[in-house]
A and B are shown apart, each in its own frame.
Chain A
Amino acid sequence: MRVVLAEDLHLLREGLVHLLRAHGCEVVAAVESGPELLDALVRERPDVAVVDVRLPPTFTDEGLQASLAARRRIPGLPILVLSQHVEQLYARELLADGTGGIGYLLKDRVFNGEQFIDAVRRVAAGGTAMDPEVIAKLLVSNARNEPVGRLTPREREVLELMAEGRSNTAIGQRLYLSDSAVGKHTASIFAKLGLAPSDDDNRRVLAVLAFLNGR
């Protein structure tokens, strides 16, 4: 798997390179500024990019802007955005084109190497990886939303994990449920939210996120 990495802190960059290589990824470019990132993305067309939001020269949302610009040129280019803080606003902007291949995680999530690499793989495969904190915020702002209120506690748990971008199998492992039980829950959730059922994991996740975002 070919990866482009953008992170301005030297220590963290080296750490990430090390982590990615240890899991069999090829880091084709490790850059430290917004313009360099855009350049590398367009030139290398990686399988996935791991990008820090705040980058030089402006130290604002340089990384996010470069990623969005690259995705406008190369639709569906898989990007995993890392940040010290997560905002629904940024999540919406990343998901706006509805094509998937988007990850948005807190930087702390790299502490758990296995899970982080799992998220990288998911994004590279065109799936999504949303930080649990983003999903928690989404559910809080949907608290008054009638259909969401009608879900059972178990269905809510499944919805949360599904919105994070996990597959049925992963959800089953996490909640100690069989695949068919998860399938039943998801079908019920889709019925309650009034969404068209779909067998494709990615498309299903995007539908859920669009529903939660569509206030």
Chain B
Amino acid sequence: MNRRTAVAVRRGLALFLLALLGQVVALVALVGILLTFLFGMIFLFPPAVRLARAMAGLNRRVVREWCGVDVEEPYLPAPPPPVPQRDGWYREGRSLYKTPRIPAFNQRLSWLMKDSATWHDLAFLVPGMWAGGLIAGAPLLLVVLGVAQLVGGTALGLVWVALAVASAPWYAPWALRSYGQIARALLGPTEKARLARRVSTLARARTEVVDSQAAELRRIERDLHDGAQARLVAVGMTIGAAEQLMESDPAAAKALLAKARDASSDALQEIRRLVRGIHPPVLAERGLGDAVRAMALDSPLRTHVTVDLAARPDPPLESAAYFAVSELLTNAVRHGGATEAWIDLSHQGTALRIMVSDDGQGGADPSRGTGLQGIERRIAAFDGVLALSSPAGGPTTVTIELPRAFEVRLPPIPKWRAITMALCWALCWIPLIPQGFVTMGFKLAGASEKAWFLALYLPEPWQWPVIVGMIALGATMLTVASVLTAQHREEGASCE
């Protein structure tokens, strides 16, 4: 028995014990839930569910560690705590409460009850764990049975023990995988929970984006108001003064005009700086690759840029990517004490990957600086993620991935395939059910009614082959339709 098998066997045994423990926990939880519904002892419901969730959580962790099956948490997001009205009371429906205790409890209760994951957990703890536990514990049970028989004097027991030991190398890993599959089916999120979570993530990202954009606009307004606008007012006033002095003191007027020219130049300078912060001109003119190259040239660091982009991403995403790189480069100069930096822009399928590394001292901490958090917020609007590796002593590497940065062009379904799919889906039931199974039923029952069942009108020796042929035809059409559909979906998924 090699090491892998030994580990698998040990883990199988542990899963079996875990299943036994699960039965006990499930029993306690079920009693709590039964008491809730039979006797209205609703205060027992939340702890019972919490117990079940703890057990389910343990199973998820174990399955991830041992079976290599990743099971996401399926629960709906917890309700926000109740907010008092202006008069300090808490309203819930048509009732008012002095303290938030009862409304909070009610909210929790309905959150727990309405979440289908609560019931899926119980379904896993009782029947699911039975099945999984039996699969995982079968070798142990076999050995116990064999030993018991041997002790009882039956030589057959030896066969069971030998079978358990001989089958271990392939059975133990398979049992682990099966346990993982069962856990994933029952403990994973349902489509509804997944969507609900996605909606709440999107809502949060949207709020952050709207907030930060509003702040940005306020900043621009302030800059324009205090900067360029004020300078232009000064230019106008200076020109006015020059106009008045033109006749009486041409030399002074000339000096004033020169001043006005300088002031207008300053105003332009300000506007130029502002424009760079809003949308850098190079980005508009040349796209992300050249804009980053231009940024690298302006940077005091020795910066190496490699760009491998097939097309230009959408302008908003391009801009977010540009400012992310700009912020990272600034960070490298300001905090990292770097002298050299590497920027790599590439596309991974339809995703845009940005890698910025430097040779600074490292030790960057996203929780301390606002820079990295700002980038995360900015790219969150595009479902972007940021990964940071910055051990003390360096080097620092930040990787940003923006999914769906480049247009997804689903390959059009070839016409023949679309027609075949449609025909198969639409017509497969005819040979399969009325002309196949129903006709078979009539034939077996020996009914005299022929209705529109084709096979029954044929001469006797032809009837059975035609019925079987019809069923085979229907099944084939169904298979062809499913396979083509699955293929199409897969192609779509690989494009994403």
Contacts and interface: CB of A to CB of B under 8 A. Distances in A.
Contacts of A60: 284-286
A108 B299 contact: no
A122 interface: no
Interface residues of B, number: 22
A53 B284 CA distance: 12
B261 A140 contact: no
A53 B285 contact: yes
Nearest to A54: B285
A87 B284 contact: no
A90 B300 CA distance: 18
Contact of B275 (A85, A88, A89): A85
A88 B282 CA distance: 11
B300 A84 contact: no
A143 B300 contact: yes
Contacts, number: 52
Interface in B278-299: 281-282, 284-286, 290, 293-294, 297-299
Contact of B272 (A85, A89, A144): A85
A108 B268 contact: yes
Interface in B249-288: 261, 264-265, 268-269, 272, 275-276, 281-282, 284-286
Given A88-B297, A140-B298, A143-B300, A61 B286 contact: yes
A83 B52 CA distance: 68
A111 B235 CA distance: 14
A143 to B, nearest CB: 6
Nearest to A64: B285
B275 to A, nearest CB: 7
A215 B302 CA distance: 8
Contacts of A84: 272, 275, 281
Nearest to B287: A60
Nearest to B290: A89
Given A60-B286, A144-B339, A88 B300 contact: no
A61 B339 CA distance: 32
Interface in A84-112: 84-85, 87-90, 92, 107-108, 111-112
A141 B294 contact: no
Interface in B219-260: none
Interface residues of A, number: 21
Given A60-B286, A144-B300, A111 B261 contact: yes
B296 to A, nearest CB: 9
A157 to B, nearest CB: 20
Interface string A124-149: 00000000000001001101100000
A89 B294 contact: yes
Interface in B355-413: none
B276 A85 contact: yes
A108 B281 contact: no
A143 B268 CA distance: 27
Nearest to B272: A85
A84 B281 CA distance: 9
Contacts of B298: 88, 137, 140-141
Contacts of A111: 261, 264-265
A149 B161 CA distance: 83
B297 A89 contact: yes
A104 to B, nearest CB: 14
B285 A141 contact: no
A89 to B, nearest CB: 4
Contacts of A141: 297-300
Contacts of B293: 89
Contacts of B294: 87-90
Interface string A61-96: 100000000000000000000001101111010000
A108 B282 CA distance: 18
B340 to A, nearest CB: 10
A140 B265 contact: no
A58 B478 CA distance: 53
A144 B302 contact: yes
Nearest to B294: A89
A81 B261 CA distance: 22
A65 to B, nearest CB: 10
Interface in B431-455: none
A160 B314 CA distance: 40
Contacts of A215: 302
A107 B276 CA distance: 16
Nearest to B339: A144
B265 A85 contact: no
Nearest to B269: A108
Residue among A54, A87, A215 with most chain B CB within 10 A: A87
Nearest to A85: B281
A139 to B, nearest CB: 11
B208 to A, nearest CB: 30
A111 B286 CA distance: 28
Nearest to B281: A85
Interface string B108-136: 00000000000000000000000000000
Contacts of B275: 84-85
Given A85-B272, A108-B265, A61 B285 contact: yes
A117 to B, nearest CB: 16
Given A85-B282, A111-B265, 15 more contacts: A60-B285, A61-B285, A84-B272, A85-B275, A85-B276, A88-B298, A89-B286, A89-B290, A89-B297, A108-B265, A108-B269, A137-B298, A140-B298, A144-B300, A144-B302
10 contacts: A54-B285, A61-B286, A84-B275, A92-B297, A108-B268, A108-B269, A141-B297, A141-B300, A143-B300, A144-B302
Interface of A: 53-54, 60-61, 84-85, 87-90, 92, 107-108, 111-112, 137, 140-141, 143-144, 215
Q: List 10 tightest A-B contacts by C-beta distance, closest first.
A: A89-B294, A88-B297, A60-B285, A61-B285, A85-B281, A87-B294, A108-B265, A111-B261, A108-B268, A87-B282
